[in-house]
Structure 1
Amino acid sequence: MNPSGIITLTTDFGLSDPYVGIMKGVILSINPEARIIDITHHVSAGDIGQASSILFDAYRFFPEGTIHLGVVDPGVGGERRPIMVITGSHFLIGPDNGLFWPVIFADKVVKLMHLTNESYFLSSISRTFHGRDIFAPVAAHVSRGVSPLEMGQTITDPVRLDLPICEQEGDILRGSIIRVDHFGNLLTSIPKKDVEKFFTRGSLLIRVGDATINGVKGSYSEAKEGELISLIGSSDHLEIAVNRGRACDGIGVESARLVGTRVELIVDGKC
């Protein structure tokens, strides 16, 4: 697999500080032809689970050979390793803290590299900004065609992240909220294929927090304005939403406790 020259960025840096711009400057200093795409810089500070979910949803829509740079790194400067994940069609570079585990778990990983070759880092390494000093320069060098195998040593023991589960018990399918998006929609761990299987068994109820929802809509516009609904979102998972509103405010759960809240899909209203 040859690099495409595209480098994506996913961070928790926000845009009010210079960190994102500095990383882009490092990349372009090494490879002026690089094409840099921002996935998001608004991951909640230090939220590895949220970042991993966003990156997993996004990476597969990019061309083969894209390099995905992820920097949500609360352990920066500690013992966690800088790594590169090489799949059959993508490169992912960032901290070994579980950020890339959903990709490693679901995709065909060709090789995992511990980034140890300092000749491809910046000359001075800060203990607080490996995004600038390690990850950005490595991504830039790989985008120029330097072999990823030159970047370090092969490893087989990446840090794992506890993935949200979806499990069935009789006529009940249980999952959880894994992310709240910008619109206040609640993204769940229940995949489309499981919802479709349950549809064949009868009418459905969805129970989340203090709310109970009848059925699964096909789109937001099928609901009345302000109505709490469920539907299959663009990530091919069950989503809780409000037409022209914010579902995160409508299920009786405090915002700090939304992620991890149980979601139940029930056949024929059995509780």
Structure 2
Amino acid sequence: MGVLTLLTDFGYRDHYVAALRARLLHLAPTLPVLDLSHDVEPYNIAHAVHVLRAVFRDFPVGTTHLIGVSDYGASAAGAVAAPAWHAAEFEGHYFVAADNGLLPLLCDGVPAQLVRLAAPALPPPVSGPSLPAALNPTRDILAPAAVGLALGQPLASLGPATTELYLLTNRQLRLQDNRITGHVAHVDHYGNLITNITREAVEAVGRGRAATVHFGREVVRELRPHFAAAPPGEIVCTFNPQGSLCVAINQGHASELLGLYFDSQVDVRFVG
């Protein structure tokens, strides 16, 4: 038996998380279920991808991740298109999500193993033909598929293989001889600005040269080993455990105080 994780934008004020867990108890009473977060910003695909990327590799290979974020999906054709839901394998983990652009962002393209999940046959409406039966995608489509994978069901048995996905693309770094240009990919609970600039990129372009970090009108001339390696109230630039360059203020809210938000530009420049 594997492990199932949950990531949703359901929040904690209402009954939605409890209802999902009740459904999982009916499907597999002994299956270990762990919460990644239920506080993803509503419909915020980039936030969900950030959380997944930061933590999914910490779980054992073979773990299944159920993602109930913007779970009715999206379509370039608009609302008239039939919604779709998928299950995929990536780096030995399984992901079950709506067709909303999340999987291509997580995998930097279409996953090599991807199947389309079939929507269940819902009972006819009991209040007349004008009232359609209710569908909760996470409960009715994603949860049964995720439980099946976590219990060892083959991915191919869940639906037909496909390569059709609603595509979103990640912001790409701009690399030059003396500069890396990136952007804020996420603002965390503390107001820290997490960028898409990686330690590997800084080491490859910098080649041991001194680096300065530029954003807004600020210039930071030192990369520090951790968030508290500066006096309270001072700006800190450091790499987080995932290897992403972060701009923070020790014991302060960097996003509000620096006026930087999701997608704000951050540069790393090298001397010489």
* Alignment TM class, shorter chain as reference: 0.7 to 0.9
Aligned to 1:22: 19
Aligned to 1:267: 270
Task: State the alpha-carbon separation in 1 of the partners of residues 71 and 146 from structure 2.
Answer: 20
Amino acid at match of 2:253: R
Q: How many angstroms does 1:204 deviate by?
A: 1.7
TM-score by length of 1: 0.87
Match of 1:47 among 44, 47, 72: 44
* SS of residue matched to 1:223: coil
Structure 1 unaligned blocks of 5 or more: none
Amino acid at match of 2:134: S
TM-score by length of 2: 0.87
Q: How many angstroms does 1:7 deviate by?
A: 0.7
Q: How many angstroms does 1:117 deviate by?
A: 6.3
Task: State the alpha-carbon separation in 2 of the partners of residues 133 and 74 from structure 1.
Answer: 11
**Structure with more strand by fraction:** 1
Is the contact made by 1:88 and 1:110 (CA closer than 8 Å) also made in structure 2? no
Q: How many angstroms does 1:228 deviate by?
A: 0.6
Is 1:130 paired with 2:137? yes
Is 1:31 paired with 2:28? yes
Task: State the alpha-carbon separation in 2 of the partners of residues 94 and 54 from structure 1.
Answer: 14
Amino acid at match of 2:17: V
Task: State the alpha-carbon separation in 2 of the partners of residues 209 and 251 from structure 1.
Answer: 8
Structure 2 unaligned blocks of 5 or more: 125-132
Aligned to 1:94: 97
Task: State the alpha-carbon separation in 1 of the partners of residues 182 and 73 from structure 2.
Answer: 32
Is the contact made by 1:53 and 1:102 (CA closer than 8 Å) also made in structure 2? no
Q: How many angstroms does 1:210 deviate by?
A: 3.0
Aligned to 1:219: 226
Matches within 5 A, 1:89-238: 89-105=92-108, 109-116=111-118, 118=120, 126-127=134-135, 129-238=136-245
Amino acid at match of 1:60: R
Is the contact made by 1:180 and 1:248 (CA closer than 8 Å) also made in structure 2? yes
Count of paired positions? 258
Q: How many angstroms does 1:72 deviate by?
A: 1.1
**Identity in percent:** 26
What are the Cα deviations for residues 182-228 of structure 1, in whole angstroms up to 9, with x where unaligned?
Answer: 11111001011112234435322111123221121111232111111
Task: State the alpha-carbon separation in 2 of the partners of residues 123 and 94 from structure 1.
Answer: 23
Task: State the alpha-carbon separation in 2 of the partners of residues 32 and 179 from structure 1.
Answer: 35
